[in-house]
A and B are shown apart, each in its own frame.
Chain A
Amino acid sequence: MAASTVEGPVAHHFNNMGQQLATVRFGMWLFLVTEVLFFGGVFCAYTAYRIWYPKDFEAGSAALNVGIASVNTFLLLASSLTITLAIRAAYVGNQGGLMRNLLLTIVLGSAFLGLKAREYYLDYEEGLMPGTAKVMQKQKVEQNGKEVEIEVAVPKFDIALEEVLKREHFKGEAHKDYDPSRVMLFFMFYYSMTGLHVLHMIIGIGLLTWQLILARSGFFAHKSRYVYIEVMSLYWHFVDMVWMFLLPLLYLCGPHTSSQAIEQFKMAIGLSHGGH
């Protein structure tokens, strides 16, 4: 097909619509290069410490809510599907389908964010927040041959982590082959990486909403403008792709079981009250 077959309003600085659309698509790919390097940086830092502290990172992973993460994975995949359907709808000129699919994508993305927020909240409830806060805790120590109880300052995070791991992972037994300060390092990465991902999701949903508004106003009546949806989808797919790596790196690297995941998810959405 030659350029002349692509029609539509051309911006002042382009010669034809074909050039304009190819440029827009190319621009998004260039932007994605930047995004790859951006996430690449934090993934690289993560990997470096993962090499140094495998046990501690596994312990940190064990304390995460893998149930929500698993469900979220499928939500994102489904949203990737719906945005692809939206492209097709715009391509064939099906305005209703376009809006429906855009809306579905937004809903799925928002559902992801909702669950993610719930997960953050649960982490907060459990006290899995890195920080320097300390609490006084009674500890039994041996002094002059007899056992006495004294109060010592323990980082809040250490206690919370031990509690969560006891409940989720070691079936009520205390178990410590990790260094809590290094697990805190894992949690720094957990919050930074998922936080950056969430930020990208929010921006994506914003852009999708804008496209939905455009779609309602008939912007996509020019079929050639399906490329704008396609360009948006590139970004959305990329965000999906980042999650595909976050899942094994953060959630799946610790010991988990499927029944635990199901239980965690039920608890998170209030269907069960778990071991609290």
Chain B
Amino acid sequence: MADILLEPARLDYTPQMLPEPEVSFEKHPEHKHYLNHEYGLLSWLLTVDHKRIGLMYLVSVSIFFMFGGIAAGLVRTNLITPTGAILELDQYNKAFTAHGTIMLFLFLIPVIPGVLGNFLVPMMIGAKDMAFPKLNLASYYVWAAGALFFVWQLIVGGLDTGWTLYPPYSSKYSHTSVMYAGLGIFITGFSSILTALNIIATVHKMRCPGMTWGRLPLFVWAMYATSVIQLLGTPVIAVTVVMLAVERMVGVGIFDPNLGGDPILFQHMFWFYSHPAVYIMILPGMGVINEVLTCFARKNIFGYKAVAWSSVGIAVVGFLVWGHHMFLAGQGYYLAMVFALLTMLVAVPSAIKVFNWTATLYGGSITFQAPMLFALGFIILFTIGGVTGLFLGTLGTDIHLHDTYFVIAHFHYTMVGGMMFAWQAGLHFWWPKMTGKMYSDFWSRLAAIVMLVGFALTFLPQFAVGYLGMPRRYPNYPPEFQIYNVLSTAAAYVQGIGYLMPIFYLGYSLFAGKAAGNNPFKATGLEWQTSSPPSPHNFETTPQVYFGPYEYAVADGLKIIPLNDGKIHDIVHEDPDLVGTTPKEATHGS
């Protein structure tokens, strides 16, 4: 075992497993991988291969991202003039609702769990597939069926309640297709539950030999925490939507104050899911960032345990803070105080992660390819998104900022600046693994910069206009706010161009890109130790794991810094844990 460590010249990183006979397509073009071992439409539609299902999600969510993006474009364009440039009032309401529902339920929630989670989790833990491959396929189709309800809802006239569906507006006053949207939420939620169940079972039961909890890549930890949230939160919104539907159908109901019902109850139950849902949207992104940063900085993650447990911490405490969406909604005063306190606590794990990422760069050997640029963009934007959340979680400051553009800017900085950038980072990072092809270095870096600049400029003015008091969901606004909105819209177009660019250069790479090789970024994770694209069952033999996930520095650098009271030694020669002769896990974060 020690021999591979003494052979650093061959690799400049230390893979989690012992080197296996490499399968290379340059040398063996006849080798079958998951993309070409079967052909035909049915081989895709009926596949139970987690990698193919991941790609099916990739195509689907990209389409819905385009829909959501078009709706966003309509909204932003309309806001160029204070009286609405292109849309009628109700058209605007439908446009922003479409933007919200599509982006949340059909893009942000499924995108990383559906695509990267599906594709990578089994590979990262050395499994041949998900625990329940058929369920995995079923959950894709359930999701697609739910998505169809959203599409149908758009076709029959759209929804105008906002994605929050607050009664009594949604249950009684809206004349739009609340029922279809409700069905869509219910069904996509069911799919989300099934995916989560699958991932949890996979992580618990399918890890390959030697893949202890302390050696799990942090992306897997993040996906695990995400899945816990999905499993525990989603059923509650499902039953809430059922109650809303019953109320709307029968005409009398549970949330209607005229009958003694309480609209605030809906908000409680809605946010019981929907607040943790924002962590469903951001945690996988954080997981991706761990993988990308370590790879391009050639470093171990700083504080593995802290990063891993902060994911779990977010998942748990994230369930206890939903009331901060309702500080002004008429909930009990004491409850609001409790929620405000817990909100301050949930901000801490996110802060820990940001500091750990920054510290990870320290002492690295950093290269700036596209995934790294996206990851750095993530840290920059997510930091702003995170600190602006503090304004909204503080009881006093929320009074003024609640339901203004400040909120819009805040959550776009976390959701788009966070999740969207993480998604792009992950997509660019694993694209060579998924397709076996390399994309253009220049265009991908340019796209990262265009997106970053466009995004930052779109939402910075919104903080200002939000502090001035411009309420959200306003097609018409006081004329003195126009300059901010025009700036925002102009930058939104730039951002839109940024999102279009990957379609071209990634698409181009599919047909004319050069072969990427098995491990173009020289990353350590198990998924990189197999061929690109991987064979149908991922690994030729069940891998055996000997190391933690991010041993980039070991192979060629024997320089070890004893930062922490000298506990870390020269691992090659002295650390018995890492070479795997004792049952303890490899040292991490000590």
A residues lining the B interface (CB < 8 Å): 12-15, 19, 22-23, 26-27, 30-31, 33-35, 37-42, 44-45, 48-49, 52-53, 56, 130-132, 179, 181-182, 184-185, 188-189, 191-192, 196
Contact = CB atoms under 8 A, between A and B. Distances in A.
Contacts of A45: 243, 254, 265, 269
Given A30-B200, A185-B261, A12 B232 contact: no
Interface in B295-350: none
B269 A44 contact: yes
Nearest to B260: A182
B240 A33 contact: no
B166 to A, nearest CB: 16
21 contacts: A13-B129, A13-B133, A13-B206, A14-B206, A26-B201, A31-B197, A34-B232, A38-B235, A38-B236, A38-B238, A41-B236, A41-B238, A41-B239, A41-B269, A48-B265, A49-B260, A185-B253, A185-B254, A188-B254, A192-B243, A196-B242
B133, B206, B261: residue with the most chain A Cβ atoms closer than 10 Å: B261
Contacts of A132: 251-252
A181 B269 contact: no
A132 B234 CA distance: 32
Interface string B134-145: 010000000000
A10 to B, nearest CB: 11
Given A33-B231, A37-B235, A182-B260, A131 B251 contact: yes
A235 B314 CA distance: 30
Secondary structure of the A contact surface, majority rule: helix
B129 A30 contact: no
B236 A40 contact: yes
Interface centre among A31, A41, A131 (most CB of B within 10 A): A41
Nearest to B204: A26
A181 B260 contact: yes
Most buried by B among A42, A45, A52, A132: A45
Given A41-B269, A184-B259, A27 B254 contact: no
B542 interface: yes
Nearest to B205: A23
B250 A27 contact: no
A207 B413 CA distance: 46
B71 to A, nearest CB: 30
Interface residues of B, number: 44
A31 B247 CA distance: 27
B238 A23 contact: no
A155 to B, nearest CB: 9
Nearest to B237: A41
A90 to B, nearest CB: 21
A168 to B, nearest CB: 23
B301 to A, nearest CB: 28
A18 B377 CA distance: 45
A188 B246 contact: yes
A39 to B, nearest CB: 7
B243 A13 contact: no
A226 B250 CA distance: 44
A189 B130 CA distance: 38
B537 interface: yes
Nearest to B245: A192
B252 A131 contact: yes
A38 B128 CA distance: 32
Contacts of B130: 13
Contacts of B135: 27
Given A41-B236, A185-B259, A185-B260, A130 B252 contact: yes
A39 B239 contact: yes
Contacts of A30: 197, 200-201, 231
A44 B266 CA distance: 11
Interface in B182-204: 193, 197-198, 200-201, 204
Given A13-B127, A131-B250, A184-B252, 9 more contacts: A13-B133, A26-B205, A27-B132, A27-B201, A30-B200, A38-B238, A41-B236, A185-B254, A189-B254
